[in-house]
Every structure is written in structure tokens, then in C-alpha cells.
Structure 1
Amino acid sequence: MIKLVPLAALGLGLGACVPTTPPTYLVAPSSLTADIRDPGYSPVTAGIQNYDVVEPLDWRELNRRVAPGANPERGDSDDAARRGR
């Protein structure tokens, strides 16, 4: 109990140093002359692509399409089985 009294006195002493109102720069409104954009409507499904089921493709050809530096239209294939060897 004796240790509690100085601790309470310290708390009350520090509480008296706290300002009762917040500083005006914290509660002041923002600039009233600033331009405000109206929120535009954007549908929930905007930018979504339709991924339908397709037939299976050759995995070698798919790898060639995504390989860096390959040009599938030009026939840059190194696959011997695809060329008939």
C-alpha cells in the first residue's frame, strides 16, 4: 500500500501536465477550396477475363510460347521430335 501512494501521486502529477484540448492543427478541417473528385462507378467485374475450357494443347508448344526470346510464328523450334527426327 505504501508503494501505491507515490505511484498514484506520480500518475496524477503527470496527468495534470496533459493539455485538455487537442492542438488546433490536429482538429482543423482540411482546405475547403481543394477540388474533390466524385467517386466514379466501377463495376465489380471490370477487367475480368473469361477463362473457358479449351482442348488440351501440346505442352512443348506451350513452353515455346512462353520461353524468352522464342518466336513461335517464325518456327524457332529446337524440338527434334516435332520436326520429324
Structure 2
Amino acid sequence: LWVDVSGNSGLELRWQKIPLQNDLAFFPIPFFDSHDEGPTIIPMVFAGSPASEQQQAAAIVASWFGSRSAWRGQQFPVHYNQLPSSNAIV
């Protein structure tokens, strides 16, 4: 395959967000996409002060995502009694 691109060539990209169903069958999307090369940022939300069991569950989930993020890096900002503007694990 050979392509010649001239100085007058152009490239037009169009995109749109596709709404996802609220279905765990799509997990780990929308939290993690293996095709995204940026860092994984997944907010964790707690109602009030989390018990040790809730903290342990959050640590297990963070570990699972961290192992898949590999070289991309990962962040898990924590929110108490408030939802972030993005997807989050509650």
C-alpha cells in the first residue's frame, strides 16, 4: 500500500459520544478503556465515613484497575457525600 499526500490534502474527523447502557455487562467500561493511552482516573465515592470493610472493598477495586492500567498510571480521588461530574464508583 502506497499513499502520496500533497500539501493540499486534508483530513476531517467527526466524532460523537455514544451513550452506554447502565449495564454491568460492559464492565470495566466506562471506567477503563484499554485503547486509551492516558492515565486512568476513577473517583471513589463514600457516604460519610467508610467502615473498614468499605475501605477494603475500594482498595480491591483500585488494585484491580491498577493492574490493568499498567504503564498508563492511575488515580483514585476520593469523594465523601458528593458525586463528581464524571463517572465514579459509589
Per the normalisation by structure 1, the TM-score is 0.19
Higher helix share: 1
Per the normalisation by structure 2, the TM-score is 0.18
Task: Name the larger-Rg structure.
Answer: 1
Larger relative contact order, structure 1 or 2 (CA cutoff 8 Å, min sep 6): 2
